[in-house]
């Protein structure tokens, strides 16, 4: 078996007809551009495009296959150059048990099964052409349909303050909403890591995923995982989630949770860091307070994390986050090392120093080791990093 990098939460900004899919997604974020970016620049082997339920996205996939640029794999997934595409859908669940919207991720092994799922969704959703749309039905009914079609079901970014399982503050257990036996993994989100999530006992039996939730091409692989599998495919990915025959997540690569835009509790107006007991911001007077992920997990904490039972969680940031790395320098790195994964994981300090200034080379190595200084983010504003002087 070999190791492969995977980012399983990537949105589509525009479809083949230049119509919006994810309203907040970049216009350049098309299916074909995602596959090219992942294969040629990022060095990612497996991507989950979670707007594949949209009919126009499926049309673009068919065009790629008809042109001989992509092909379906026997074990599920669609191969394009050096990357395998898994067809996914992000859905907003809001039934009587939810008490607020929850986003979930559903993946299917083939274009045929995704088309069948889309047909079913048209009876449960007002606009099938857009991303992350409200689903009218129960969460368990959705799970049953996903499993009927041999799909994978994963609650998305479970701690973010908005549209997540734990974030809103009214839910304390997945059993309130889901059939927990039909959950295949848990997506942590940008503001939490393995150690934080393992403070909640009911999550201990699930595999954790770290994905980018990319709304633009540069954001692909800002979080990802390294999987041990025979080959990048739907079946192998599913087996890795369930530790079948030594398939597994080897390492999670995520931004330091402090870089996430909802890590700490802040005033929604001036972004002043606040205690959770504060009802009114002493700086600007605003009463709109957004509770941070760290504080929310503290409220839910009922277990002691066991690091030995989890793969290593390594703090990394995309190269674009480094303040002294501009577009021209970034392109020089890609020209020399081929992919961003090669720069982040394999290039030595001496090799980097031959291409970029020593200060930047040192920052890349420190980023690889998780040693960059962090200013925490909150309230929708990302944290920031400080490079070595």
Residues 61 and 180 in one domain: yes
- Average pLDDT for residues 333-354, to the nearest whole number? 90
Q: Is the pLDDT of residue 16 over 60?
A: yes
Whether residue 304 is contained in a domain is answered as no
CATH code of the domain containing 193: 3.20.20.140
Q: Do 139 and 275 belong to one domain?
A: no
Whether residue 268 sits in one domain with residue 222: no
Region 363-380 average pLDDT: 71
Domain boundary among 257, 281, 308: 257
Residue 96 is predicted with a pLDDT of 80
Q: Tell me whether residue 252 is in a domain.
A: yes
The verdict on residue 307 lying in a domain is: no
Provide the pLDDT for residue 90: 97
Same domain, 51 and 186: yes
Residue that terminates a domain, selected from 215, 242, 257: 257
Mean pLDDT of 354-376: 80
Give the pLDDT band (50/70/90) at residue 374: low
Q: Are residues 268 and 186 in the same domain?
A: no
> Do residues 209 and 264 both lie within one domain?
no
Least confidently predicted of 236-240, 306-310, 372-376? 372-376
Q: Are 102 and 155 in contact (CB under 8 A)?
A: yes
Residues 245 and 264 in one domain: no
For residue 165, being part of any structural domain is answered with yes
pTM assigned to the model: 0.90
- For the chain, the domain total comes to 2
Tell me which of 77-91, 106-120, 290-304 is least confident. Answer: 290-304
124-141: pLDDT as tens digits:
999 999 999 999 999 999
**pLDDT tens by residue, 268-311:** 888 888 887 788 888 888 888 888 888 888 888 999 887 668 99
Q: Is 311 a domain residue?
A: no
Residues 167, 37, single domain; the answer is yes
pLDDT at 170 over 80: no
List of residues 6+ apart from 216 with CB closer than 8 A: 13, 25, 26, 28, 29
312 in any annotated domain = no
> 156 with 280, same domain?
no
**25 in the same domain as 57:** yes
Judged against a pLDDT cut of 60, whether residue 389 lies above it is answered with no
Two tokens, residue 242 = 């369930």
Q: Which domain holds residue 67?
A: 2-257
Q: Which residue in this structure is represented by tokens 């070999």?
A: 2
Looking at the structure, do residues 276 and 198 belong to the same domain, yes or no?
no
Is 61 among the domain residues? yes
Instruction: Give whole-number Cα distances, 198 to 12, 307, 377, in Å.
Output: 31, 9, 21
- Asked if 263 and 377 count as a contact pair (C-beta separation under 8 A), the reply is yes
Q: Is residue 109 part of a domain?
A: yes
Is 246 found in the same domain as 132? yes
């Amino acid at each position: 078996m070999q190791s492969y990098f995977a980012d399983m939460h990537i949105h589509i900004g525009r479809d083949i007809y230049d119509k919006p899919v994810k309203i907040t997604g970049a216009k350049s974020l098309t299916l074909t551009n995602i596959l090219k970016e992942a294969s040629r620049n990022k060095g990612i082997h497996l991507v989950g495009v979670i707007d594949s339920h949209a009919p126009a996205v499926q049309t673009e996939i068919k065009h790629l296959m008809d042109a001989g640029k992509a092909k379906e794999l026997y074990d599920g997934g669609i191969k394009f150059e050096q990357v395998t595409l898994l067809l996914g859908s992000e859905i907003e669940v809001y039934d009587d048990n939810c008490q607020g919207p929850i986003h979930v991720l559903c993946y299917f092994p083939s274009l045929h099964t995704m088309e069948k799922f889309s047909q079913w969704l048209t009876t449960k959703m007002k606009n099938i052409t857009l991303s992350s749309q409200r689903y009218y039905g129960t969460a368990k009914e959705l799970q049953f349909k996903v499993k009927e079609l041999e799909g994978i079901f994963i609650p998305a970014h479970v701690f973010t303050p908005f549209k997540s399982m734990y974030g809103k503050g009214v839910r304390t257990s997945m059993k309130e909403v889901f059939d927990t036996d039909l959950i295949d993994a848990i997506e942590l989100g940008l503001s939490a890591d393995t150690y934080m999530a393992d403070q909640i006992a009911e999550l201990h039996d699930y595999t954790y995923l770290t994905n980018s939730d990319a709304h633009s091409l540069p954001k692909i692989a800002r979080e990802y995982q390294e999987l041990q599998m025979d080959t990048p495919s739907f079946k192998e990915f599913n087996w890795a989630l369930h530790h079948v025959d030594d398939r597994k997540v080897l390492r999670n690569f995520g931004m330091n949770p402090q870089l996430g835009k909802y890590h700490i509790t802040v005033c929604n107006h001036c972004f002043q860091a606040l205690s959770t007991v504060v009802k009114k911001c002493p700086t600007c007077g605003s009463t709109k307070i957004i509770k941070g992920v760290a504080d929310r997990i503290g409220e839910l904490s009922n277990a002691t994390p066991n690091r030995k039972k989890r793969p290593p969680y390594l703090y990394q940031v995309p190269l674009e986050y480094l303040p002294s790395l501009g577009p021209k320098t970034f392109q020089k790195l890609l020209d020399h090392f081929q992919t961003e994964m090669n720069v982040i994981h394999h290039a030595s300090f001496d090799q980097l120093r031959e291409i970029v200034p020593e200060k930047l080379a040192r920052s890349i190595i420190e980023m690889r080791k998780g040693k960059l200084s962090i200013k925490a983010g909150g309230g929708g504003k990302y944290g920031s990093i400080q490079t070595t002087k």
